[in-house]
Amino acid sequence: MKVFSGTSCIELSENICSKLREKNNDIKLGDLKIDRFSDGEILPNFLESVRGEDIFFIQSLYNSDIIIETLLVIDAAKRAGCKSFNLVAPYMAMSRQDKKDHNRSSFGAKMVANILESSGIDQLITIELHNPAICGFYNIPVINLNGNKIFIDYILEKNIEDLCILAPDAGAQKRASNFGKKIQNSSFAMINKKRTKPNIIDSVELLGEVKDKNVLIIDDMLDTCGTVCSVTELLINNGAKSVSAIASHGVLSGKALSNINNSSLNKILVSDSIPNRYTKNNKIVYVSCDKLLADVIHALTHKESISKINDI
């Protein structure tokens, strides 16, 4: 087995290798050079032999250039004679395009599945797909890890009183409910929202009691944070003592930083599935997914069960 990193998450990859060494795995990050020509063309080159090796390639697929880089690395590894290519993608791009919402729109999640599978990957390991049904777009093993696993110990250590777990929409209800089951004496609420355009919410309705509660919003990703900020104001107006949010993926694009800073949000907790760009912001806390991914890689290489790792 050899572990390599793409350019999107070198620090995370090094941390994963460090966690693997704690498990008595003699693992170091492999030597992979990725050059870029002045016009943006990408050229990957393995500087060590990978023939007959099980490769674990760690790369968060958060933009189109990174996807192309990954495809070229897969091609290089296959041509160099690797035994298997396991893509560890903490964040999967296009996962919000899990269905056709319009007659002539793209089907991004399926397209990414097609090109990754046809390029020759043998297995995909990822965290908290926007829709678990995306696993069915692949004809290879897909391990979709539970993002709640990253944060549950952090929250339990805080021992937050009067805690209310809130699902920001119907799609997050199961995720939030499972999180709440691990925290004794926590209550549950949810938001019913109507959206007509991406990132734009027409109306929101609170279902449940949040008065005098410390509310924790559970979601799979935070992008522009417009929704979570508007929900926060609704909760504060309904008597919540404080509002924080957890998301497996901190996309944090567009006006996200401004929205967070100008809101009543206490904290947001995100993993480092996407490189942590806002470490100096006192409202944003990064909780690493390195241990979760290292545990899975270790289990796969030792033919152990993934279920016991994925359960919270």
* Catalytically active residues, by annotation: 193
Residues 6+ apart with CB under 8 A from 124: 86, 87, 89, 116, 138, 140, 141, 142, 143
Distance of alpha carbon 281 from alpha carbon 7, whole angstroms: 24
**Residue 126 pairs with which residues in a beta bridge?**
89, 144
Are the beta carbons of 120 and 78 closer than 8 angstroms? yes
Cα 135 → chain centroid: 15
**Residues 164, 166: Cα–Cα separation, whole Å:** 6
Per-residue tokens: 232 = 């926060």
- 271 bridge partner residues: 249, 287
- Report the Cα 274 to chain-centroid distance in Å: 7
Please state, in angstroms and rounded to a whole number, the distance separating the CA atoms of residues 123 and 20: 19
DSSP class per residue in 92-131: BTTTT--S--STT---HHHHHHHHHHHHT-SEEEEE--SS
The residues pairing with 236 across neighbouring beta strands, listed in sequence order, are: none
